[in-house]
Amino acid sequence: MRSFSESYRDAGVNIEAGYEGVKLMKKHVQRTMIPGVVSDIGGFGGLFAPDLTGMSEPVLVSGTDGVGTKQRIAQLMNKHDSVGIDCVAMCVNDIICCGAKPIFFLDYIAIGKNEPEKVATLVSGVAEGCVQSGCALIGGETAEHPGTMSADDYDLAGFAVGIVDRAKIIDHDRMRPGDVVIALTSSGIHSNGYSLVRKVFNVEHADLGAYVDELGCTLGEELLRPTKIYVKPVLAAMDVADVHGVSHITGGGFYENIPRCIPDGLCAKIDKSALRTPPIFGMLQRMGSIPEHDMFNTYNMGVGMTMIVAKDDADKALAALKENGQDAYVIGEVVSGEEKVALC
């Protein structure tokens, strides 16, 4: 007997649409299959057998996050193929900060009305993010929420697991004055501060398809630009350099995120004049009359991640990052102090 509930459908949930969505997304999931995947999509749990070769004490590292209100831009533009990259990025960029390699990912989509093609498009972005970060998409869930969400609305979140040998976990206690602070460039706003972005640009009524000379693209294209995934270049730099701290610059900006890897008694002294800040941030600050402090306390300002390395290893780290396609440059140094971060 086929699985079908007319009563459930009359209440707003279409079971068959869910099955169709799973069928359509399988081709995207297949792109993420890496050694270690045991299960296939559609089971009750995702199975993964990690390769522990060479690890004396493997440690699992997990991270979870969502795309936030950036999703509203995608909904307004009816463009749903990139926010999945943001979802993966927000999770895997966190777990690499301790030196872990992402191994698998699961997603969760709550949606007002299950449209199989839209769900599959969302998952295609998740799959692309997994490919970029070298991890497998081994499962997920799509939940139809009639009556609590509008038909066009959805919320995308995810969960990543990585692994690292305990001996290779980044040790912040080894940080010393004179260490170098390296900036890894962002692709733009990434996935934080979008409640303020939406307010400043009045996105519900703005022409998101209008070309903006200052940006070199349309406003919608800029605001939907996917979060950069730093996994491969960061892990490559960790292989060749003495890394003492890594920070993912997300909500809270410089002031909240950089201190998370700074031991007491030390301060990351950042040279603001060295920053290469994309035009979108200047446009946002100007149009919203946002104080500079609030900009640096909300946005990445063109720096999606910072890496603190021993001074003698700075050139090696920069070379490894650039060899792996990541623009990076020095923006400061570690000094003695109690502030943990100072922008000068």
pTM of the model: 0.94
The residues near 213 (Cβ < 8 Å, ≥ 6 apart) are none
One domain for residues 149 and 180? no
One domain for residues 122 and 177? no
Structural domains of the chain, count? 2
| CATH (domain of 245) | 3.90.650.10
One domain for residues 184 and 115? no
Q: How far apart are CA 237 and CA 257, in angstroms?
A: 20
| CATH (domain of 126) | 3.30.1330.10
Domain membership of residue 219 as a residue range: 172-343
User: pLDDT tens digits, residue range 206-233?
Assistant: 999 999 999 999 999 999 999 999 999 9
Q: Is residue 91 part of a domain?
A: yes
One domain for residues 328 and 187? yes
Q: Is residue 286 part of a domain?
A: yes
Taking residues 137-153, report their average pLDDT.
93
- Residue 191's nearest CA partner among 85, 291, 292, 306 is 85
One domain for residues 163 and 189? no
One domain for residues 284 and 326? yes
Q: Is residue 1 part of a domain?
A: no
CB neighbours of residue 157 within 10 Å: 19
Which one of 152, 168, 184 terminates a domain? 168
Which one of 139, 168, 197 terminates a domain? 168
Token pair, residue 262, equals: 């700074």
User: pLDDT tens digits, residue range 101-121?
Assistant: 999 999 999 999 999 899 999
DSSP 127-182: HHHHHHHT-EEEEEEEEE-BTTB-TT-EEEEEEEEEEEEGGGS--GGG--TTPEEE
